[in-house]
Structure 1
């Protein structure tokens, strides 16, 4: 076997969450199209999930994308949705494993040198390892430019006493990150919305540390597009938007896709189906599931609902009595769906979503209006932009009890599907998103430029 030293080889390292793994896998496919070999390095826990979900019918570019893994430091039964536990563990053990992993590649005469380490910016410890080993480095930001800007500005927010040393806002005044950016609600700063107030300080310190690793980055790319957030990319010209990075391939799922839902959609009328999906992390208690189910029933519209096995914290889903029988002719529930293909389907009328960034950009790219039910993290900022700035969706308002009622769901679905302004805005967004990744588009130009730079 001849040595591969001259081959183009990149190491790609995602944060171990579904919404982070999928866009980096899609970027890996684009790199393969440009002649690269990719080593895609998951945590061992997620590596097993991805391989199991892939089955035998998924092609990830033959031997051009090599799936590999290193430990995250947690035991097999520990909850990896507890970011306050997962992140310190990764910081502690993964740099050493990564250095050893790269060392084996560099000393293998039949392996190609690594031209670049591309990591999710939330895995910035990998930037330190790559810098130590003299390897060029690229950071990928999988969320919105607005959230990226808020993290970049953390040191200044502390200096200006807008937040204290623990990331807590000093008052309730809206935050102006720059003269051209929309005002930001201080309650929506991402480290304050992680679901567990006990870990707020840990998460803030994590994001503060990330904000200080910018000097280690040779190339910074972002899953957004210029026309969507021009005020961000004017402020940070070194951050290059390459999005929307659409997750077309199925080689990065944590659950096996149920593609039979596409044939079900084929049988529905155009612009008739409510698509309901809450991503990989959202948990709903039994009351919320019941109200959602009854709201969908009240809508009297066909619906496709993604119901993950762990949607209710490991408990079996309990639908309202008689619900499944009453909606059998117009409702379809699946464990996981090929979302890109679902949203692009002509039968889809709207998307009831948790407002994750991938879901948001996929809906914008498909011209599908959004009904917003955010859960944690950046999803609250995304909801604000969707409803108040871009005006491509509506928010669901909880009652005083905190519960979103079936009547609220039905009413907002009716309003959303009858709103001509939202319908017009979604069409414009689709045109902008399509233009950005087409020949001559800003995102495609940035992607090609990035690829040429790491080839050099």
Structure 2
């Protein structure tokens, strides 16, 4: 399962540990590539089944042929380690099961893995959401510095970090379930520069917890507290987008690096690759080229792209409301329906809706999202509001309609609508008429035109940040230099 490469003994050696989910792996792989191109050796650790899925998704690691000093290693994930050629079923293990297994087993597996590496480790770059596996203690035990990478926006990180502060103020957990319906969650949080006016309900779902001993609540509290123990942190954002908030964070965490958008930074360094090939090689699912072929036949800015990410699930009724809303909008749409999107199972649509979709839509199970968002025919994005999706949409200059589900998505959605002015929100209890109205506004209304203009402004600022001498370009150089200094200590 492992893939190895010759590691140069004289170069700094960085071990990457992503949280084992699509968007986290994709984000960390891109940073690993950037640091590798800056002259660092990389060992990238996946769970066994995820690594097998990456290898089988098609076109993966095409850039590794010219990447000596970049290797992959794997740790067990609780699934049988099969050497067969059959594709690993991604649904034989829930996120909760994987989370539980890694909490118990990752620490020892990681120490064994590091002990077997031929080259000493200079530092560890760990996903902030993997710290529940005792990564800080592992780094201390190995006497290796650790850098925490939050694959989030600054607002997303700050949303999670608020749990510690809200607990200190006695605002969470909720005293009882009546607080869910008595407008308590409408309370404004007025102490975060750059997030003025944000409400409790716009923060991650911990604001809805009534039990301090709830495993999810405890996990998020421990994750929030990790930031205070980390000497160096990375956030996937850029200064122009969240200037006041990043300034505030850097006053609290001086060794903080903002290095986004990662794809635009990679575009600066991979000029020999075509744009299309530079987008690929990071997916746990096979990307269907028919999506782009269908888009090629459409008019500029005429298609709504619909994708609710790699983890979010919905009930069948929600899927039907979205489906009829899209059909009734009258606009053409490309809709990604994962095989596990509806309650973790394949979706079965009524025949009447299937027939209606075929008139205006194209349905696929996965696609190359960045290639789609950068396609000339895509004029809007209906998204769950995951940070990977939002920063990719901003990088492409595409406005959004957001249906936030969990995690940092409500925070991202609020900032997208209120601060960055590139989106509109659909209520959690989705209705087809609301979907229809929002899609029409996005694609043909004055509001959509205004948001599209604003999105193009953010695209230009993102390109400036990632360009030569830009803020993110300088930050990635600082990060690489800091790691090289560690190797000399």
Structure-1-length-normalised TM-score: 0.89
Q: Which runs of 4+ in 1 moved over 6 A?
A: 74-77, 165-170, 196-200
Q: Sort the Cα spacing of 1:165 and 1:92 in 2 relative to 1 into closer, same or farther, 3 A.
A: farther
Match of 1:42 in 2: 46
Q: Sort the Cα spacing of 1:396 and 1:341 in 2 relative to 1 into closer, same or farther, 3 A.
A: same
Q: Secondary structure of 1:251's match? A: coil
Query: Where in structure 2 are there 5+ consecutive unaligned residues?
Result: 82-90, 267-277
More helix by percentage: 2
Deviation at residue 354 of structure 1 after TM alignment: 0.5
2:206 to 192, 205, 210: 192
Residue by residue over 1:57-92, the C-alpha shift from the partner in whole angstroms, topping out at 9 and shown as x without a partner, is 84435554322211245779764333xx54343222
Residue 120 (str. 1) matches residue 127 (str. 2): yes
Q: Sort the Cα spacing of 1:56 and 1:393 in 2 relative to 1 into closer, same or farther, 3 A.
A: closer
1:432 to 447, 461, 464: 461
Residue 223 (str. 1) matches residue 240 (str. 2): no
Q: Sort the Cα spacing of 1:235 and 1:337 in 2 relative to 1 into closer, same or farther, 3 A.
A: same
Match of 1:100 in 2: 112
Residue 242 (str. 1) matches residue 259 (str. 2): yes
Structure 2: how far apart are the matches of 1:291 and 1:303? 15
1:143 to 145, 152, 164: 152
1:50-449 alignment runs, 5 A limit: 50-54=54-58, 58-61=62-65, 62-73=67-78, 79-82=93-96, 85-105=97-117, 111-124=118-131, 125-164=134-173, 171-172=184-185, 173-192=187-206, 201-214=214-227, 216-237=229-250, 238=254, 239-246=256-263, 248-397=278-427, 402=429, 404-417=430-443, 418=445, 419=447, 420-449=449-478
More displaced 10-residue stretch of structure 1: 287-296 or 24-33: 287-296
Q: Sort the Cα spacing of 1:9 and 1:167 in 2 relative to 1 into closer, same or farther, 3 A.
A: farther
Match of 1:108 in 2: none
Residue by residue over 1:195-232, the C-alpha shift from the partner in whole angstroms, topping out at 9 and shown as x without a partner, is x9889822222222223333553421100111111222
Structure 2: how far apart are the matches of 1:64 and 1:2? 5
User: Are the equivalent residues in 2 in contact too, given 1:49–1:255 (CA < 8 A)?
Assistant: yes
Q: Sort the Cα spacing of 1:183 and 1:300 in 2 relative to 1 into closer, same or farther, 3 A.
A: same
Structure-2-length-normalised TM-score: 0.83
Q: Secondary structure of 2:189's match? A: coil
More displaced 10-residue stretch of structure 1: 31-40 or 20-29: 31-40
CA RMSD of aligned residues (A): 2.9
Query: Where in structure 1 are there 5+ consecutive unaligned residues?
Result: 106-110
User: Are the equivalent residues in 2 in contact too, given 1:294–1:320 (CA < 8 A)?
Assistant: no
Residue by residue over 1:26-56, the C-alpha shift from the partner in whole angstroms, topping out at 9 and shown as x without a partner, is 1111122122221110122322222222467
Q: Sort the Cα spacing of 1:375 and 1:453 in 2 relative to 1 into closer, same or farther, 3 A.
A: same
Q: Sort the Cα spacing of 1:200 and 1:306 in 2 relative to 1 into closer, same or farther, 3 A.
A: farther
Q: Sort the Cα spacing of 1:213 and 1:293 in 2 relative to 1 into closer, same or farther, 3 A.
A: closer
Deviation at residue 433 of structure 1 after TM alignment: 1.3
User: Are the equivalent residues in 2 in contact too, given 1:174–1:184 (CA < 8 A)?
Assistant: yes
Structure 1: how far apart are the matches of 2:163 and 2:210? 19
User: Are the equivalent residues in 1 in contact too, given 2:176–2:210 (CA < 8 A)?
Assistant: no
User: Are the equivalent residues in 2 in contact too, given 1:149–1:177 (CA < 8 A)?
Assistant: no
Q: Sort the Cα spacing of 1:198 and 1:278 in 2 relative to 1 into closer, same or farther, 3 A.
A: farther
Q: Sort the Cα spacing of 1:98 and 1:441 in 2 relative to 1 into closer, same or farther, 3 A.
A: same
Q: How many residues were matched structurally?
A: 444
User: Are the equivalent residues in 2 in contact too, given 1:293–1:319 (CA < 8 A)?
Assistant: no
User: Are the equivalent residues in 1 in contact too, given 2:7–2:70 (CA < 8 A)?
Assistant: no
User: Are the equivalent residues in 2 in contact too, given 1:137–1:216 (CA < 8 A)?
Assistant: no
User: Are the equivalent residues in 2 in contact too, given 1:233–1:240 (CA < 8 A)?
Assistant: no
User: Are the equivalent residues in 2 in contact too, given 1:293–1:323 (CA < 8 A)?
Assistant: yes
Q: Secondary structure of 1:139's match? A: strand
Residue by residue over 1:3-22, the C-alpha shift from the partner in whole angstroms, topping out at 9 and shown as x without a partner, is 84213321110001111111
Structure 2: how far apart are the matches of 1:426 and 1:63? 38
